């Protein structure tokens, strides 16, 4: 399940400008020893002591589902990326675009050390650097999304500041919309942009309206994008964190039956994966656990 795509001698083919085009190549970071000890440091924000064996089984099941749906999986062990307990949430430290990899600058201090090892791994697969976020900018991948292939969105949050958002907008180019996310309950229950919206096709998105930026809500209407609303009781169980493997084929965290039913009613093929340890405990769902390398 690892290694370069067959027939591509220069390394892994790359290019991402969508949240829902076919997920051809994807990076996953396997939980390591730091993840197993995450609860010991309150700064990580984990809810209970980690069962590392269970976390690894859940992670392997996610990889297996993605593999069965046609994605090529590239797995890196978290211990190769340093001592961060959050390294398993591969979506945050870097962004892969059609031009290459952009080194982000996470606003969560313990995640800063993940960026360079991950950029190094990508470079080793033939994916060149396309830029980096410089101080004082901070930005995390969870505050970024492609609403359509020609519309990129960045959320200013408690982890993504104005400097980081503007730097990334300049690097990505084109039509970039910057919106503000609510403070809500503060750093302990951080609201990322992908906490409140998950595009699952060019014309369909899963949303949690109570925390959705008004700018995004208006944009959805302007673009004619239909929405599936996550009920309040499923927001805390990662109901809004939905990974599209291709348009209308999605992976959700187990334990969100109302959201899964609504997706199915909208014509989606839904695959639920267990996420007690790798998801709920560290507050990261299927999208957070993946870094798309190539879509389409």
Tens-place pLDDT, residues 117-163? 999 999 999 999 999 999 999 999 999 999 999 999 999 999 999 99
Q: What's the CATH fold of domain 23-295?
A: 3.75.10
Q: How large is the C-alpha radius of gyration of the chain?
A: 17
Phi, psi dihedral angles at 128 (to 5 degrees): -70, 155
Distance CA 222, CA 220 (A): 6
Q: What percent of the chain has pLDDT over 70?
A: 97
Domain boundaries in the chain?
23-295
What's the rounded mean pLDDT across residues 2-28?
76
Q: What is the mean pLDDT of residues 181-194?
A: 94
Residues in the chain: 296
Residue 2 has pLDDT above 70, yes or no: no
Q: What one-character DSSP code corresponds to residue 276?
A: I
Asked if 176 and 144 count as a contact pair (C-beta separation under 8 A), the reply is: no
| pLDDT for residue 6 | 31
Q: What is the pLDDT of residue 11?
A: 84
Q: Residue 232 is encoded by which pair of tokens?
A: 């309040």
pLDDT higher than 90, residue 227: yes
Q: What is the mean pLDDT of the chain?
A: 94
**pLDDT on residue 7:** 33
| pLDDT recorded at residue 8 | 35
% of residues, the chain, pLDDT over 90: 91
pLDDT-derived band of residue 10, with 50, 70 and 90 as boundaries?
low
Q: Residue for token digits 């014309």?
A: 203
Mean pLDDT value of segment 11-40:
96
Q: In whole angstroms, how far apart are CA 221 and each of 62, 129, 147, 196, 201? A: 33, 35, 12, 16, 15
Q: Are 263 and 252 in contact (CB under 8 A)?
A: yes
């Amino acid at each position: 399940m690892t290694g370069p795509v067959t027939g591509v001698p220069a390394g892994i083919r790359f290019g991402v400008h969508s949240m829902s085009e076919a997920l051809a190549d994807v990076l996953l970071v396997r939980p390591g020893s730091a993840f197993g000890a995450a609860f010991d440091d309150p700064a990580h924000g984990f809810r209970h002591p980690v069962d590392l064996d269970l976390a690894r089984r859940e992670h392997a099941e996610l990889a297996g589902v993605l593999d069965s749906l046609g994605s090529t999986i590239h797995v890196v062990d978290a211990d190769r990326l340093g001592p961060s307990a959050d390294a398993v949430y591969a979506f945050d430290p870097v962004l892969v675009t059609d031009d290459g990899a952009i080194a982000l600058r996470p606003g969560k201090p313990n995640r800063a050390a993940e960026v360079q090892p991950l950029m190094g791994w990508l470079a080793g697969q033939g994916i060149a650097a396309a830029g980096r976020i410089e101080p004082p900018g901070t930005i995390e991948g969870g505050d970024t999304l492609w609403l359509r292939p020609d519309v990129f969105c960045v959320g200013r949050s408690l982890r993504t500041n104005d400097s980081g958002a503007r730097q990334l907008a300049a690097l990505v180019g084109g039509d970039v919309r910057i919106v503000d996310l609510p403070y809500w309950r503060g750093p302990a229950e951080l609201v990322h942009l992908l906490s409140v919206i998950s595009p699952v096709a060019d014309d369909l998105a899963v949303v949690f309206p109570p925390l959705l930026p008004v700018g995004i809500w208006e944009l959805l209407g302007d673009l004619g994008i239909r929405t599936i609303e996550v009920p309040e009781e499923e927001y805390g169980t990662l109901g809004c964190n939905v990974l599209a493997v291709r348009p209308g084929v999605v992976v959700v965290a187990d334990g969100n039956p109302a959201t899964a039913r609504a997706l199915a009613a909208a014509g989606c093929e839904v695959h639920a994966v267990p996420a007690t340890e790798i998801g709920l405990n560290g507050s990261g769902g299927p999208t957070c656990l993946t870094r798309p390398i190539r879509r389409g």
